[in-house]
Structure 1
Amino acid sequence: MRAVRIDRFGGPEVLVPVEVPDPEPGPGEVLVRIVAAGVNRADALLRSGRYHRAGQPPLIPGAEAAGVVVAVGEGVAELAPGQRVVALDGGRSSGFYAELATVSADNVVVLPDGVDLTRAAALPIAWLSAWYCVRHLARVSKGDTVVVKAAASGVGTAAVQIAAEAGARVLALAGSAEKAAWAGEFGADVTVDTSAHPDDAEVEEVLRLTEGRGADVVLDTVGGPAFGRSLREVGHAGRVVALANVALEPSTVDTRDFYPKNASILGFQLTDLQVHGYDPRPDLREIAERVAAGAFRVPVETVVPLQEARTAHERLERRDNRGKIVLSVAPESVK
């Protein structure tokens, strides 16, 4: 089969198309013919050797995909060949940048009609992360004020929609006027261009928009210095959810910015949750059903052929995309 492999850590140029043997499903596994694979910052970190769970090359990246079941391993009764599915985490040595991949049946969900496989490939990482943080960790409810940072990102646009559906007032922060305006199209009540409100000015703007009270929830998808600002932007008994550090910089925390407000800091990391027993299928199934019903929009900006994964990573790392980047592996009609 065709795949894209990393034989050494480095920049996008180390993503090399190769021919490798077809995998076979073991007990409890499913073999999926991949139609589309999502491209994520975790893939870029894995490629560069900076991912916290990275193995050693050779590695096939890709933690999310959608496709069609080809075969099932021993003990798999709930899935069958021919089903359209979305899958999460193909393993660090055999990921989804490939025509075929094996994956645990515990990480596979059958798709409802109305969700095409390209959009489905964008659901497991960004949407599942946003859903868990908004619904389970932060417990966002009607009347809450929610700040979403990097609101034009995949997690950001998902979080804006999920929080708005819950009845929250959503303040969407993004790094340019264009990105802020675009985030507003997904249901944000207020948008803030953080390039016009850098550093302390960002905090002052959030406090102004909340009449000095601060937000009930701050979803921090940026990390680094932005996390310290998140602590200052949250209000009494508020929740700050930290789920990324795309800044790749240390965060300086002043405890005086949160303990006097009885605020909570909540951490989120999807693979760690799975290692400790989280079953993603009920949440992923509900997300897919809501997408099929038209309740949520899944913006896919760029679709790149599998063999051009390098181009996809270059675009991802420029951070100029609005919406998801997806690798096209096979035609939608594949069986």
Structure 2
Amino acid sequence: MRVITQHELGGPEVLTLVNAPSPRPLPTEVLVRVKAIGLNPLEARLRSGEFPMMGEPPFVLGWDISGVVDEAPQTWRFRPGDEVFGMPLFPRVASGYAEVVSAPALHLVRKPPSLSHVDAAALPIVGLTAWQGLVDLAGVGTGDRVLIHGGGGGVGHVAIQIAKAFGAYVITTASGSKREFVEGVGADEVIDYTTVDFTEVVHDVDVVLDTIGGDTVRRSLGVLRPGGHLVTATAEDDPELIAEFEAAGMRFSGVAVDPDPVALRGLVDLVERGELRVHVQETFPFERVADAHRLLDGGHLTGKLVLTV
């Protein structure tokens, strides 16, 4: 099979297409012939060495996959020919930038016919991050006022739709160029962060979902109602922030996304009800992974990038 690996840390040019033996599935795993691979900003940080979660190279990036089961020798969950998708093993190495991936069957769900392989591959990390933050941690429900930072990004645009599906009133920050996009996925109010300070116009919010980090987290304290809850996807364990929020009578949580077939099936239900669609800004053939990573490095994406295999 072909696999995209790297032998040193650096820019997109370090990503190399090579031939490698196909993996062998362990008990309870399935072998998936990959059709599409979702790309995430985290992978650019890992590739460059900015975030050393995977240690020293060589290693193979990637978690978001969609494809067809090739082998399922010791699991009852799937059979060869089943179309599946998911985010196997995260945050451990899954080697998803490959034509064939061996993955725990429990970390995958069936891909519905209504979801293309490209859209399915784009969904797991961003969808699970948004679901676990808004539904599992914050318990967002009907009538809640929710502020989502970075509504035009991968997690943000999915989070808007999840919050709306659960009955919330959604405010989001986004650049002016993305106003039409975030309104199109359901945002009730859009704050152009390039011209407006959100702390001056947003008040009495029940839940803040942060996808930006930096001082956005601390500044969001002032927009929460008493007892409000901030969930961040960028600062999972910050004792100083936790103490500051608790002293103000607020809740602070970091969402460290993990594989979750129950939440994945919840996302599929929203897709099939027409309440969720993942936006793919651009697709690239497997061989052009370096070009895709150059876009990742540039930031300010609208939705997701996907490799097709």
TM-score by length of 2: 0.93
Q: Contact 1:84 / 1:110 at 8 angstroms: preserved in 2? A: yes
Q: Residues 43 and 311 of structure 1: is their aligned pair in 2 closer, same or farther, counting only changes over 3 Å?
A: same
Deviations along 1:238-263, one digit per CA (max 9) or x if unpaired, are 00001126xxxx98967896345411
Deviations 1:217-246 (A, max 9, x none): 01011111111111222121100001126x
Deviation at 1:94, TM superposition (A): 4.6
Map 1:211-290; keep pairs closer than 5 Å: 214-244=204-234, 258-259=245-246, 261-271=248-258, 280-290=260-270
Answer yes or no: is the 8 Å Cα contact 1:67–1:86 preserved in 2: yes
Distance in structure 2 (CA, Å) of the matches to 1:255 and 1:108: 33
Are residues 190 and 253 of structure 1, via their aligned partners in 2, closer, same or farther at CA, if it must alter by over 3 Å? Answer: farther
Q: TM-score, normalised by structure 1?
A: 0.86
2:73 is the counterpart of 1:83: no
Q: Measured at CA, do residues 169 and 219 of structure 1 come closer, stay the same or move farther in structure 2, by a change above 3 Å? A: same
CA distance in 2, matches of 1:11, 1:326: 19
Could you tell me which runs of 5 or more consecutive residues in structure 2 were left unpaired when the two chains were aligned: none
% of aligned pairs identical? 35
Residue 193 of structure 2 corresponds to: 194
- 188, 200, 205: which is aligned to 1:204? 200
Is 1:112–1:289's contact at 8 Å kept on the other side of the alignment?
no
Counterpart of 2:156 in structure 1 is: 156
Preserved contact between residue 3 and residue 99 of structure 2 (Cα < 8 Å): yes
What is residue 21 of structure 2 aligned with on the other side? Answer: 21
8 Å contact 1:64–1:90 — kept in the other structure? Answer: no
| Partner residue in 2 for 1:321 | 301
Q: How far did residue 90 of structure 1 move?
A: 5.4
Deviations 1:74-93 (A, max 9, x none): 2x111110000002135755
For 1:164, what is the secondary structure of its paired residue?
A: helix
The Cα shift of 1:97 comes to 0.9
The CA deviation at 1:104 is 1.0
CA distance in 2, matches of 1:87, 1:262: 37
In 1, the alpha carbon distance for the partners of 2:18 and 2:238 equals 39
What stretches of structure 1 of length at least 5 have no aligned partner? 208-213, 272-278, 330-335
Check if 1:178 corresponds to 2:168. Answer: no
The aligned length equals 307
CA RMSD of aligned residues (A): 2.1
SS in 1 for 2:66: strand
Counterpart secondary structure, 1:235: strand
